Structure 1
Amino acid sequence: MNKKHALCTLCLLSAASLAQAANYTLWINGRNAGGTPGNYNDFRYWGPDTVQAGVNKKAVNWDGRSSIASQSSRVRDALDCFCTGANWCYIASYSAGDLLLGYTLANYGGSARERKNATPNAAGVCGAAGGTQTGWNIKWVRVASGAAGGSEIADAGAWTTSEPLVQDLKVGTARAMYNHNATRNIWFYMYAGARGTAYSFLLPGQDDEVVAYHSSGAAAGSGGRSLCNPGDWLCDDLRLGTAANQGGSTKWSYHSVEFRDDGEDYNHYGDGNWAGIIGVVRAAVAASAN
């Protein structure tokens, strides 16, 4: 083969590699069941799958009740499938899905991952594409009502206490489960809802009825604290971005509050129709995950 032919061959190989590269948007559900685990096209948990929710959207379905440790494999399968090799991912997580993703990145994000071909079987596992890499290709994470800091509702036993996930969602347990600062340098953009009603008496500061601002706002520390919107004299302000909150509490590394519900307009629930705080994140993902 002469030099000209060799150069043409290299060009064709490079073009083929670029053609195969793709971006994907992964949606990681929270507590309670919805879509079928392993079926990345089943968006029943969220709402109509015709709604724009990011480029090449995929539902990372898990059972929504088992322990975080036992369900992490579901997330790892999805990340291996769509976020390795030449492919990159945007991620949207919701409620306990935040705890699940954080746990997965902290414990497995520095491990050797086999590159996959983005063609899953019925179990949600993709075939080998050749080679390995360290961790996954993730551009950013947007989090609706993140529960990585736990919920006082779990502590109070307001949910079924025999459910393994409820035990993991206790505030002290969730905060001690892994190093929340170990995001592998991936940014988590937090969206905190404040339309709390029924369970607000159990939750400190502002809340969306299930998760308080200390968790949805990524406040660091071993326990929850009372954080509110500006103008509420009963507790310290949750501040936007990475800034320390009023009173001096800090946020976990690589966590930034992108949206604070100053109008108290958004509750926790998606209602199977991309509603509540999920809707705010969906709009942001649709606008920026491309």
Structure 2
Amino acid sequence: MKKLFSTAIIAATALVGAEASATNYSLWIHGRNGGSTQRGNYGDFSYWGPSSTAAGVNKKAVNWLGTQRISVENFRIRDALDCFCTGANWCYIASHSAGNLQIGYALSLYGGSTRNIKNAAPSSTGVCGDAGGTPVGWNIKWVDVASGAGGGSELANLGDWATSEPLTSDLVTSTARAMYNHNTTRAKWFYMFAGAKGTLYSAALPGQDDEAVSYHTTGGVSATGNFCNPGDWFCDGTLNTGTAATSNGVAKWSYHTVSLRDDGEAYDHYAAGNWAGIVGPVRADMATYAQ
């Protein structure tokens, strides 16, 4: 469905002569980190892995201070969206962990606002110049999410992460879920990739997890709960693929669909600077479909 949908948009765009110079970009929004990435440098892929690795057309790394609150750093995501996803240009988005909160926050709270069309030529601070025109929102085809933390993590609830980091308070499950309306995606599909290779914090995280977040958030489920793979015992229900509710009837957020449920428990949470863990399948998906 994703490939056909994207192809249809590209074909429609090609019919408009004024948009003959349109360019597609792939934006990668990282999650929690120690602030080692160069903010404003769209070529710094150190969080993800070698920049030479295929990860979608015209890929750009959207770097933010990954220890700070979502609201404080969200301007960097909006700067990138303005730079590359306005005017005749379109974007594919990939996000990881708290990057899910960043793109969700931007779309829900600012996706219906008037933007300035930019020239896709960023300064050293990541800001692009005005090119004329004020559309509403951004041109986004879809969003791939690697182990998204849109619903928070019980590790933040329990203080298992550094409490001195402002982001930790945003990752408390009740806070993350109340931060914005997760159903308001501006009709952009969120394709969720949910990892399940979790062992270290299994007692703290309900249901299936990838050592940082559980299926209730990585699967885009609208309520917290103990959700697992098919056949697993002692769970509230099974996380179903696609848009279907969990087996015990808990719905997903609107425009959220599970593309990968880690039935083989093969993917942990960590990119490890080498496109590893659950980021690997998302990278492959972007390389194939983000064109």
CA distance in 2, matches of 1:43, 1:35: 8
**Partner Cα separation in structure 1 for residue 79 and residue 36 of structure 2:** 18
Offset of residue 233 of structure 1: 2.0
Q: Using structure 1 for the length normalisation, give the TM-score.
A: 0.93
* 1:126 paired residue number: 128
State the Cα deviation string for residues 10-46 of structure 1 (Å, max 9, x = none).
xxxx998444310000000000134201000111110
Q: Give, in whole Å, the separation in 2 of the partners of 1:34 and 1:181.
A: 32
The farther-off stretch of 159-168 and 78-87 is: 159-168
Matching residue of 2:107: 105
Deviations 1:102-141 (A, max 9, x none): 0111100000000001000000000111011000000000
Aligned-partner Cα distance in 2 for 1:278–1:264: 14
Shift in Å at residue 251 of structure 1?
A: 0.1
Aligned pairs for 1:100-249 within 5 A: 100-221=102-223, 224-235=224-235, 236-249=237-250
How far 1:63 moved relative to its partner? 1.0
Aligned-CA RMSD value? 1.2
Give the deviation of 1:66 after TM superposition. 0.5
Question: CA–CA distance in 2 between the matches of 1:163 and 1:247?
Answer: 35
Give every structure 1 segment of 4 or more consecutive aligned residues whose post-TM-superposition deviation is greater than 4 Å: 14-17
Structure 1: stretches of 5+ with no match in the other structure: 1-13
State percent identity of aligned pairs: 63
- Matched-pair contact (CA < 8 Å) for 1:217–1:238: yes
- Return the alpha-carbon distance in structure 2 between the equivalents of residues 162 and 100 of structure 1: 20
* CA contact 1:34–1:61 (8 Å) conserved in 2: no
SS at 1:25's partner residue? strand
C-alpha separation in 2, matches of 1:53 and 1:17? 28
Task: Return the alpha-carbon distance in structure 2 between the equivalents of residues 35 and 69 of structure 1.
Answer: 19
Pick the structure with greater CA Rg. Answer: 1
Provide the C-alpha distance between the structure 2 equivalents of 1:126 and 1:117, rounded to a whole number of angstroms.
6
Gaps of 5+ in 2: 1-14
TM-score, normalised via structure 2 length: 0.93
User: What is the distance in 1 between the residues matched to 2:77 and 2:16?
Assistant: 30
Whether 2:261 is the aligned partner of 1:254: answer no
Quote the residue 2:5 is aligned against: none
The AA in structure 1 aligned to 2:271 is G
Q: CA-to-partner distance for each residue in 1:150-183, whole Å, 9 max, x for gaps?
A: 0000011111112110000000000011100000
Q: Answer yes or no: is the 8 Å Cα contact 1:114–1:130 preserved in 2.
A: yes
Query: How far, CA to CA, are the matches of 2:81 and 2:72 in structure 1?
Result: 16
Structure 2 counterpart of 1:7: none
